[in-house]
Structure 1
Amino acid sequence: MVLKTQGGARCLAVIATALLAGGAAPASVGAQGGAALVVAQAVAVSALDPAGSSGRPVSPAESEAAFLIYDGLVRFTDEMSIVPELAASWSVDPDGRAWTFKIRRGVTFQDGTPLTAQAVVATLDRVINPATNTSNRTLWDPIASVSALDAATVRVLTKEPYGTLLNTLAQGSALIASPAAVERWGAEYRLHPVGTGPYAVDRWDLGTQLDLVPHRQFWDGRPGFDRIVLRTVPDPATRVAVLQSGQAQVAEGIPTESVDALRRAPGVTVIVRPALRTFGMGINLNRPALQDIRVRQALNYAVNKQLLVQALFQGNAAVLRSPLALRTSGYADVAAWPYDPPKARMLLETAGWKPAPPIGVRVKDGRSLQITLLTPQGAFPHDVEIVETLADYLRNVGFEPHFTYVEPAALPDHLLVPPDQSTWDLAFFGFGPSNGDGGDHLDALYRSNPDRQHRPRAWNFTWYSNPLVDAWLAEGTRAVDPRVRDAVYAKVERQVWTDAPYLWLYADSVVVATRGAQGVEVLPIALTILKHAHP
């Protein structure tokens, strides 16, 4: 494998220019003259260790690359059903705590070492260990231990019944890595990934392009392409252009305003999949003014969410009616927050915030109703445009909004801090459960943080806390029967919706366009799976 570092944004701009100028080789021709698949991704692939040793959240682009290099014990279909992969079969004991997996025989890692139960245990031990894996703790903390019963049998023991274990094992951090490669490379393993998947790393220009070639001993048949090139193309318009010109066969993160034109383009297929990712403005509950539920309710009544969604997403998003997106497991339809500016103003009046002439900003006890809106620039579709539009709605009912803009990579550094270090009042954020489970979504955002001296335990950066919600979340995690779990989570959704720790907005869609590529799977967890793709 060839590993190179590149010059960041300037290099990306040069590559985009070269693509549009026709500087790339035809995408249908690989390095040795075979069929190649070029994928235009929005974000660079900069680490490929499933255990998250890079110490930061894994991007969708990195997950998509990882699913080409690695396999898991089980996997999701594009409809989020769970099917076998490296586990040929499994069973669970009646107590719901002990799970036994039979490992597929005759599977080889890309470094030539065999897949065994011991290799699976080594991978899962790394991801269970919080010293190794600081991400996805809500998924892995319920597991007590993993052991090899023999060379082809793995037992997973959970601390309590854990009904969504299979969802967790289908998620990206559960992909199985070569223990020999992990030992060889140590802390640098994230740059030298080795799995059992259909493709292996051939060349990696960090920050710009990742080239993959077939794993010739792949256990599930010959891979569909002789080369896959994952190319970083940050600008959405450029991604559309390279697809239309035939220089890429897959383009991700297609802007909704380009969907209709691409659908009319010869040879182009547009895949629109309603996603499990919800968007809103997280409300900083450490701020005295925002601790008043009437102020938080006023925020939700002040915004015409339906008009916002229609104008920006042309029907490819849906206004939220619950803290979860519609197709998430455990979803309960609670209600929409209607657009009602008079009610928003009444709530603010009742809370003691009175309009002060001449500009109408509300004041209370000599303080104006100022709020700082934090938005990333380009982390999510239309993020800046959405937040600046929200500011107009909030001014209309008496808030005085100000803005803080951050680069996408810096967003977690502003959110995941102790409460006395936060510098914002409302923060634009999108979250979806990477394991497809609504319970994980609710747990990550709404379970109380254990203390106020450290960063949030997962993504509860609003510092929301409700003992009833905590108890229900624990009950739902223990429930093995999906019907029981869904009923418990419905109570969580109704309570959180009433407490309003967010200005809730919408659930988006994943939009991917293809040209001359078949077998591309788009999952509602905002993930494009290419391991079964072929010309």
Structure 2
Amino acid sequence: MRPRVVAGAGTAVALVAALGACTENSGEGATVDTGRQHTGVIATDPRDSAGPAPEVPGAQAGGTFTIIRETPIAHLDPQRTYSFVGLMATPLFARFLTTWKDDGKGNLVLVGDLAETPGTDVDDDCRVWEFKIKDGVKFEDGRPITAREIGYGIARSFDPDLAGGPTYLQEWLADTPQYDTAWDFRANRNTLPPGLTTPDERTLRFEFARPRCDLPFAVSLPSTAPLPPDRDTGLNLGNAPFSSGPYKVTRYQAGVEVVLERNEHWDAATDPVRHQYPDRFVWTFGPTPDAAANRVIADNGADQRALSWNYVPASLVARVAGDPGLRSRTILSPTPSANHLIINNRRVTDLRVRRALNYAVDREGLIKVLGGPNVAAPMTTLMPPATIGFQAYDAYPAGPNGDPEKARELLAGQTPELVLGAADNSVEQQVVTQLKGNLERAGFKITVRNIPVGAKFDEIKKRDNPWDLYLSSWAADWPSGASILPVLYDGRGIRAAGNSNEAYFHHPAVDAEFDRILALPPGAQGPEWARLDERIMREHAPVVPLYVDVAYLVHGSKVGGVFVSSVFGHPSLVNAHVRP
């Protein structure tokens, strides 16, 4: 689903030529630099994939680094991890076949993590790939990590009971979106899925029915984290994941706290991106974003070494932005994270109603509720600006505050009664209150039904969920329309649960366009994704684009090394350290 990578000379192959809306990590003012260009390459020199990672200037070992977050992390099971917080937390205790070197300024290099390189295209046709596993990589109990344990980790992602994670590898190996019916993990726990083999302990081999040139990027996700079969506890693995990274989980108190301490068997010499500076990381859950931010701003005791995970809440944005003393303790960065009001197309089947929803939304008012331009920027497209070939358009021009009259005109006297599902956390409740007012002003009757925040991520991915509308966000798994549009809108992969296509949109002509564009050379794909983006919105209006996140974070005075991920738009902890 990602662009084909074209080999070339030198130590790296260009992946991305230029992207807009890029990362600026700056606490020195309230202006977000949206003009910086992303660049991305895939490393071809094995030295780029070797460790240790370069030392972070000024970093010292020791101390406890605390992350304060309102809600728990949905899954610590790597094969089920697909939320932003999970994707940022998992690298502390799990390693993958490949990973990204990221400077936090939009410069990305894909390197081998457990593998010596980002993979070998054996026959130069993207159908057969091999990854050589590094010597010296170990689990938390000291046993070596081999290709077999990595293969087992991938195999268990076929289990429908472990839904929630990415499905690229499963679908590609099975050559069908219905991968869980093509190979039964529970009946074949002692084997690997067809197409995945281990010729020897250090070699993992993928064989596909059709070219999969994006495999090096897909295996950078947590689904390739290794696991010995004897440590697989199924649905309970998230309570005690088995570490292959620099830290291991030593305490898990559901909904309250997760403690990670150093894994003595992690070898920095094998790791090109991670460090092991703090003695421990403590994730603590419960405080609202306001309470967490106020604790960190006060900068007392242990909170001097704490990061408020949630972005600065609307109620505190003006205070934080206006306090020169906090500038050195804030991070301000555009992100690639796009937010939409998802329309359940299985339930809301009238195109006029979906178009009216698009006219009804007051984006300017919504952004004010969120906290202003330091928090979000309006969006009217399916793909965010940080996408190759992005083209701005507005299929339903309603001005900054919406056009309720145009919405009523489309409804032609109807008063659609829609159920808006909303997580029961404070931020989403503020947003849905604003949206409910927008939609009712335009002639809709909206009933808000709360969903426990820890369950929402899984519940809206169920095909037969009971809501007409719900909020969701998406950051591409790598910077391309191929990692956005087919993933979110290809209806051929819809199944009972675990769907990324949360709109349950299915149109054969659009599916055919996905196949056509994915077969193009990478340099030709960008403009084609942009054209298809606009076509989908104009012809089908499957969602309401709302805004792109701007990361605005505050931390204690003794926190160092945190930056906003250029891939996922949330805090990266691989360089985190505690200042003395």
Q: TM range, normalised to the smaller chain? A: 0.7 to 0.9
**Deviations along 1:36-85, whole A, 9 cap, x unmatched?**
21121232246422122xxxx65444443321111112112243542232
Q: Mapping of 1:238-387 within 5 angstroms? A: 238-244=291-297, 245-246=299-300, 247-248=302-303, 249-257=306-314, 258-262=316-320, 264=323, 265-266=325-326, 268-287=328-347, 290-315=348-373, 316-329=375-388, 331-335=390-394, 337-339=396-398, 345-346=405-406, 348-349=408-409, 353-354=412-413, 363=414, 368-378=415-425, 382-387=427-432
Deviation (angstroms), 1:253:
0.6
Shift of 1:458: 1.4
Question: Secondary structure at 1:291's aligned position in 2?
Answer: coil
Deviations along 1:307-346, one digit per CA (max 9) or x if unpaired, are 4324533102121132011114564433364325997535
Counterpart check, 1:225 vs 2:249: no
Equivalent residues of 1:472, 1:491 under 8 A apart: no
Give 1:27-38 correspondences, 5 Å limit.
Answer: 34-38=62-66
Tell me which of 514, 519, 535 is aligned to 1:495.
Answer: 535
Whether the 8 Å contact between 2:153 and 2:223 is mirrored in structure 1 is: no
Residues in 1 aligned to 2:371 and 2:124: alpha-carbon distance in whole angstroms? 47
Partner of 2:366, secondary structure, is: helix
Q: 1:165 aligns with which of 200, 203, 215?
A: 215
Greater C-alpha radius of gyration: 1
Deviations 1:455-489 (A, max 9, x none): 3661334332221211122334455x422333442
Report whether the alignment pairs 1:520 with 2:562: yes
- 8 Å Cα contact 1:120-1:176 kept in structure 2: yes
> Match for 2:307: what amino acid?
V
CA distance in 2: counterparts of 1:530 and 1:342, whole angstroms:
39
Question: Does residue 238 of structure 2 align to residue 177 of structure 1?
Answer: no
Give the whole-Å Cα distance in 2 for the aligned partners of 1:120 and 1:148.
10
Change over 3 Å in CA distance of 1:291–1:192 after alignment to 2: closer
Report the equivalent of 2:32: none
- Superposition TM-score, scaled by structure 2 size: 0.73
Structure 2 counterpart of 1:21: none
Is 1:444–1:458's contact at 8 Å kept on the other side of the alignment?
Answer: no
Residues 1:94 and 2:124 aligned together: yes
C-alpha contact (below 8 Å) 1:201/1:211 kept by paired residues: yes
Q: 1:44–1:208: 8 Å Cα contact kept in structure 2?
A: yes
CA distance in 1, matches of 2:172, 2:509: 20
Which residue does 2:68 correspond to in 1? 40
Paired amino acid for 1:306: E
Q: Tell which deviates more after alignment, 224-233 or 321-330.
A: 321-330
Please say if 1:194 is aligned against 2:242.
yes
Q: Is the 8 A contact 2:68 2:292 kept in 1?
A: yes
* C-alpha contact 1:297 1:344 (8 A) present in aligned 2: no
Post-superposition offset of 1:407: 2.4
Pair 440,299 (structure 1): closer, same or farther in 2 beyond 3 Å:
same
Aligned counterpart in structure 2 of residue 119 of structure 1, from 135, 141, 149 = 149
Kindly provide the amino acid, as one letter, of the partner of residue 154 in structure 1.
Answer: L
Out of 241, 244, 253, the residue aligned to residue 205 of structure 1 is: 253
Deviation at 1:129, TM superposition (A): 5.4
The residue matched to 1:166 in structure 2 has which SS? helix
Deviations 1:88-142 (A, max 9, x none): 2122242122222222212221111012223322222323555655632245311
Unaligned 5+ residue runs, structure 2? Answer: 1-60, 175-194, 270-274
Letter in 2 for 1:371: L
Task: Give the letter aligned to residue 250 of structure 1.
Answer: L
Once the two structures are TM-superposed, the CA of residue 197 in structure 1 deviates from its matched residue by 0.9
1:509 aligns with 2:550: yes
Root-mean-square deviation (CA), in Å?
3.1
Q: Determine if contact 2:141/2:265 at 8 Å carries over to the other structure.
A: no
Provide the rounded CA distance (Å) in 1 between the counterparts of 2:365 and 2:236: 48
CA distance in 2, matches of 1:304, 1:450: 33
What is the one-letter code of the residue matched to 1:159? A
Aligned-partner Cα distance in 2 for 1:469–1:150: 42
CA contact (8 A) 2:98 2:216 kept: yes
Cα offset for 1:306?
3.0
Please state how far the C-alpha of 1:444 moved relative to its aligned partner. 3.3
> Is 1:398 aligned with 2:443?
yes
CA distance in 2, matches of 1:478, 1:181: 40
Q: Which runs of 5+ in 1 are unaligned?
A: 1-32, 355-362
Identify the residue that residue 71 of structure 1 maps to in structure 2.
Answer: 95
- Number of aligned residues: 475
Q: Distance in 2 between matches of 1:268 and 1:519?
A: 12
Sequence identity percentage: 23
Q: 1:65 to 1:372 in 2, by over 3 A?
A: closer
Which residue of structure 1 aligns with residue 79 of structure 2?
51
TM-score normalised by length of structure 1: 0.79
Output the amino acid matched with 1:374: G
Distance 2:559 2:168 in 1: 36
Does the 8 Å contact 2:74/2:454 carry over to 1?
Answer: no
- Greater shift after overlay, 442-451 or 218-227? 442-451
Conservation of the 8 A alpha-carbon contact between 1:280 and 1:506: yes
DSSP 3-state at the match of 1:51: helix
Mapped contact 2:421–2:467 kept (Cα < 8 A): yes
* CA deviation map 1:156-212 (0-9, x unaligned): 223322233222211222223345533xx4654333322321111222223211222
8 A Cα contact 2:559 2:576, kept in partner: yes
- Compared with structure 1, are the counterparts of its residues 268 and 346 closer, same or farther at alpha carbon in structure 2 (3 Å cutoff)? closer
Partner secondary structure for residue 491 of structure 2: coil
Paired residue for 2:110, among 59, 71, 82?
Answer: 82
Give the Å deviation of 1:431. 2.9
